[in-house]
A and B are shown apart, each in its own frame.
Chain A
Amino acid sequence: EIVLTQSPATLSLSPGERATLSCRASQSISNYLAWYQQKPGQSPSLLIYDASNRATGIPARFSGSGSGTDFTLTISSLEPEDFAVYYCQQRNHWPITFGQGTRLEIK
């Protein structure tokens, strides 16, 4: 099973700042990594798939990069609605696995 390790567990930033979230895989997953955002009381929503492709309707301030084992989600300038929990997910090997999440909170 591929383990995805997200860091940091919690990230405290202010609106307008740049956020950098990391996801590391226990073995290579090529570029088959997705990022999801989950706000309190809501279902997750897809942000980025295959490492760098924005999902439909996702603002350009969200970008993804990486391949192999190391991946990054960057939010260029935080908006108030971006404070949420972010999960990475790999689909290169069964079982599909998720990271444990990074909580992005307002500083």
Chain B
Amino acid sequence: EEQLLESGGTLVQPGGSLRLSCAASGFTFSSHDMNWVRQAPGKGLEWVSSFRASDGTTYYPDSVKGRFTISRDNSKNMVYLQMNSLRAEDTAVYYCGKSLIVALGTGPFDIWGQGTMVTVSS
């Protein structure tokens, strides 16, 4: 069974840093693009980052560019999200998502983790 399990969410002060982890199992991890998506309390989904398996290219929206960094360790089947200079508006449940392999671009997210809560507050 394909699974993702996030960890690392906690309460952090504004301006602080945090690293989220996502452990993958049940599929050939190195072959798939991996992603992070967040959801603020009571709000919709917001894409946060992607890591292309084919060439290691990473992508971010402007809202986190320069503050967040996605990385992966294919030997451990792990993907990470390093979050720096955290703001109150980064408060959300953070989901790890696996992309389907598709012919063009990064695929839709067919497997999601259960999420980990990040709260940025003093």
Q: Give me the interface of A with B, judged by CB distance under 8 Å.
A: 1, 32, 34, 36, 38, 43-46, 49-50, 55-56, 87, 89, 91-92, 94-101
A98 to B95, CA, bound (A): 14
Please, could you name 25 A-B residue pairs with CB atoms under 8 Å apart, sorted by A?
Answer: A1-B61, A32-B104, A36-B45, A38-B45, A43-B95, A43-B115, A44-B112, A46-B100, A46-B108, A49-B100, A87-B44, A89-B47, A89-B109, A91-B105, A91-B107, A94-B59, A95-B47, A95-B62, A96-B35, A96-B59, A98-B45, A98-B46, A98-B47, A100-B44, A101-B44
- What does DSSP make chain A's interface, helix, strand, loop or mixed? loop
Output the nearest chain A residue to B35 by Cβ-Cβ distance. Answer: A96
Contact of B47 among A38, A92, A97, A100 (CB under 8 A): A97
Taking a contact as CB atoms closer than 8 A, the residue among B44, B61, B105, B113 that contacts A43 in the complex is B113
Query: Contact flags (1/0) for B30-53 with A, using CB distance below 8 Å?
Result: 000001010000001111001000
The answer to whether B10 has its CB under 8 Å from any CB of chain A is: no
A1 CB to closest chain B CB (Å) equals 8
Assess whether B44 is in contact with A49, with CB atoms less than 8 Å apart: no
Across the A-B interface, the 4 shortest Cβ-Cβ residue pairs: A34-B108, A43-B112, A96-B47, A49-B108
Name the one of B59, B95, B109, B114 contacting A46, with C-beta atoms under 8 angstroms: B109
* 9 more CB-based (< 8 A) A-B contacts, given A34-B108, A46-B108, A101-B44: A1-B61, A32-B105, A44-B37, A46-B110, A91-B105, A95-B47, A96-B106, A99-B44, A101-B45
Question: How far, in whole Å, are A89 and B109 apart by their CA atoms in the complex?
Answer: 10
In the assembly, what is the distance between CA of A96 and CA of B115, in Å? 19
Min CB distance B116 to A, Å, is 11
Cα(A44)–Cα(B45), bound, Å: 9
Residues of A within 8 A of B61 (CB): 1, 95
Is there contact, CB below 8 Å, between B47 and A55?
A: no
Chain A nearest Cβ from B65, distance in angstroms? 9
Whether the Cβ atoms of B106 and A55 lie closer than 8 Å is no
